[in-house]
Amino acid sequence: MSLRETDAAKALKGRSLLSIADLSRPELDAVFDMTRRLKEHVISPSDQRAIFEGKTLAMIFEKPSLRTRVSFETGIFQLGGHGIYLGPNDISLGKRESVGDVAQTLGRMVNIIMARVFEHDKVTGLATYSGVPVINGLSDLEHPCQALADFYTIIEHKGKLDGLKLAFIGDGNNVAHSLMLLAAKMGTHFAIGCPKGYEPDSNVTAQAKELAKETGASIEVLNDAVKAVDGADVVYTDVWASMGQEAETEKRAKIFAPFQVNMELMNHAKDDALFEHCLPAHRGSEVTDDVIDGKWSVAFDEAENRLHAQKAVMVLLGS
């Protein structure tokens, strides 16, 4: 069975995934289709194990992780390859050794690189100098793998993306950026409800609005949670203080309190709305137990789909 049946899928071979903006609509459709084929075993487990036989994935971590590490390490194993974990003390990326030197060294030894970093420039630097595909496993600017898993989860539960409304409630962070860009590309209306001063990056918002002109999606930045959630098909939230912002936790808790996703807020969404969270969740802060454990929640479907979506990305970029 051919792994790449469309021109869009073929065009991904050897590429890096640093931002959702790197992928065209047909290429995104190819990622979602490959995700389905791997998850549903259209490509059998034995055939999957042959895809990366004898190949290696380097996994660079500046930030701790549960889902990113386990999903990538399990994913490369299921594809027949081997993952090498490189933690902060192994590399000290850009400090003990320059990003370019690390990239050139790894590029001569491994077949693909995943990096979970602070500064986005580090993943772009790795891609510039490594000569092998680089996957952004999270940077301060974007979290494309998370967004792909999130949107695939919506497809599974709603059967489509065009014309739906996704409301993101909370900080205009890296996850919000990737979701906004992906919504714009897929024709999904996007509204973020956030406190003043915590809006998404203005350049990312402008980019998303430009992309949305091609698909008819609307992009709204609001400072009102209820207005953002009104009529939403999907309600999404994330922690109020991301890694590296721990010193702001107490301050943010007060500012973001009106933006908690609770039963009262969910009642402003559609009756059959989904609730998504990229995890880890701070229960009682950005979300209440009755929401994340309730009828709306697909948070753990998302967590599982990190595995399948990232396998699809590795297959399409690196096989």
Annotated catalytic residues are: 116, 143, 146, 238, 278, 306
Q: How far apart are the first and last CA of the chain?
A: 14
* In the block, residue with structure tokens 């890096």: 16
Collapsing DSSP states into helix, strand and coil, what is residue 52? Answer: coil
Contact criterion met (CB below 8 Å) for 69 and 61: yes
Q: Which residues pair with 83 in a beta bridge?
A: 57
The torsion defined by the Cα of 288, 293, 297 and 298, in degrees rounded to 10, comes to 130
Tell me the one-letter amino acid at 255.
I
Which tokens hold the place of 20?
Answer: 């959702």
* In the block, residue with structure tokens 């790449």: 4
* DSSP per-residue letters across 254-296: HHHGGG-B-HHHHTTS-TT-EEEE-S---BTTTB-HHHHTSTT
Contact criterion met (CB below 8 Å) for 246 and 222: no
In Å, how far from its chain's centre is CA 312?
A: 13
Q: Which residues pair with 113 in a beta bridge?
A: 58, 134
Which tokens hold the place of 239?
Answer: 């922690």
Collapsing DSSP states into helix, strand and coil, what is residue 187? Answer: coil
CA–CA separation, 197 vs 201, rounded Å? 10
CB count within 10 Å of CB 102 equals 25
